[in-house]
Every structure is written in C-alpha cells, then in structure tokens.
Amino acid sequence: MNNLLNIENLNVKVDDKHILKNLDLKIENGQIHAIMGPNGSGKSTLAYTLMGHPKYKIESGNISFENKIINNLPVDQRSKLGLFLALQYPYEIEGVTLQDFLRQSYNTHYQNSDKKLNAKGFSDLLNEKMKLLEIEESFVKRYLNVGFSGGEKKLTETLQLAVLQPKLAILDELDSGLDVDALKKACKAINKIKKDNTGMALLVITHYNRILKYLEPNFVHIMKNGKITKSGNKDLAFEIENKGYLEK
C-alpha cells in the first residue's frame, strides 16, 4: 500500500535552533498515529512544519504527500492537497461569523473544483455536518471563537475538519484545556467525521494517554529531542502513562 505521508530524514531549524533531527514517519490512508513526548521534544514543530509555517526551516530531508514532495509548497497549497491542522489555540475574529468563515474557507479550498458550492449548496452541506456532530444552528451564527469556551473552540476546529474533508488531519494537543466531558464530546465528533470519511488519516499530538482512550491509534510514537525514539501499538501509550518517557 502506498503511503499517504512519508517523512524521510527530516531536519528542521526554528530561529537557528535545530529542533527536528533525522525524523522518519510513514502514515497510510485511514490510519491513526499518535505522537507523545515531553515538552520541547518537537511535537508541535512537526505539526507546523507539515503545514508549511514559514518560521520552520527544513534543512534537509523530505516530506512527501501522496508521492509528491511538498517541502517548498505554501500553506494554502498543502491544504488543497488534503492536509489540515486543528490548532491548539484557535484565533478569535470579531465580526466574522463561524458560518461565513466556513463558507469562505470551503469555497477557497475547492475554488478550482466541481465541489465548489453556491450559498444554498454550502448551507445544505453545513447543515449536514452540523447534524452529524449534533451542533445547534445558533452555534455557527456566533463570531469566530469570540467568547467561546475551550471545548467550543475545539468544536469549531472539528466542524471545520468535517466541512473541508481532508485526507490527513493533524490534531495538535486537542485535549489541551479540556475537561473530561468536553474531551469526550470532541473525540466523539472526530470519530463521527472519520467514519463519514473512511480514508482520512489522523496524526494525534498529545502529552497524555486519556485522548487515546477515545481515538484509538494504530501506532504510538515517542518523540524526544527531535527524534522518534520508540514506536508501538496503543499499549505503548499505557506504558508511557505508567513509566514515563523512558527509552529501553
């Protein structure tokens, strides 16, 4: 089977500091991979590098997405290929409703595609996704993330994920700041999206095992000092919880 994402010998600097060091990772369609590790290990750097943030400079190595090297592609082109990043700290935008933001995002994303929709077509799509995620209509009438709780901000990200239907979704510490009930709700939404889009793969970046009780990974990777030092199945996450980030 061809890899959806293939990272080979990736070395990345941020502000002249070497963060990612000869990192390798392969993800196939439909798989869920979790990356765990202590603070400063390079997890979020990997997420931003995959999406093409200009602050993160690739020194060597390659990132291939569906067999196309994307090292030098800008963020919007990576998004159109099928990459999506759910932000740890989503932005607040006064004066722009969530509904308008999602419609503009969708039609920009699919502007050269037969998937582009008129106002009614998008409204039908949005209603379908809101029904899937059990979101009330009033939610999308609010200004983007303004006055939202932590759980509501993550729900905004998951609704955007449902609407854009990417091939690979990177979830950067989705569990950050969420209580147990909010985390269950967010993970329930993501599992519904994944069931609705069976080929979608997930890269889940987290410090804690608790999210992996709801988003069951095919593979768990430990990252330390910019490298993946150990990989295994979901049992590795429980080992980390009990023993910490110890190498054997």
Q: Return per-residue pLDDT of the chain as tens, 248 residues.
A: 568 999 999 999 999 899 999 999 999 999 999 999 988 899 999 999 999 999 999 999 999 999 999 999 999 999 999 999 998 888 899 999 999 999 999 999 888 788 888 889 999 999 999 999 999 999 999 999 999 998 899 899 999 999 999 999 999 988 887 888 888 888 999 999 999 888 899 999 998 888 888 999 999 999 999 999 999 998 888 888 777 765 54
Q: Cα-flanking dihedrals φ and ψ of residue 170, to 5°? A: -100, 120
Contact status, residue 3 vs residue 26, Cβ threshold 8 Å? yes
Closest CA to 20 of 60, 55, 53, 51: 60
Q: CB of 220 within 8 A of CB of 232?
A: yes
CA atoms within 13 A on the CB side of 191: 13
- So what's the pLDDT on residue 201? 97
Q: Hey, which residues does 223 pair with through a beta bridge?
A: 228
Instruction: Write the pLDDT tens digit of every residue in 97-124.
Output: 999 999 999 999 888 788 888 889 999 9
Alpha-carbon gap, residue 156 to 159, rounded angstroms = 5
Q: Quick count: other Cβ atoms within 10 Å of Cβ 79?
A: 19
For residue 15, the tally of other CB atoms under 10 A from its CB is 8
> For residue 246, what pLDDT is reported?
57
CATH class held by domain 3-243 = alpha beta
User: Token pair for residue 41?
Assistant: 């290990």
Give this prediction's pTM: 0.92
Tally of CA atoms within 13 A in the half-sphere of 149 that contains its CB: 9
Q: Running DSSP on this structure, what letter comes out for residue 207?
A: S
Give the pLDDT of residue 248: 46
Residues 6+ away with beta carbon under 8 Å from 145:
90, 91, 92, 93, 98, 152, 153, 156
- pLDDT in the model for residue 240: 81
Token readout for 137 is 């209509």
CA distances from 63 to 23, 24, 46 (A): 10, 9, 11
125-164 pLDDT tens trace: 999 999 999 999 999 999 999 999 988 998 999 999 999 9
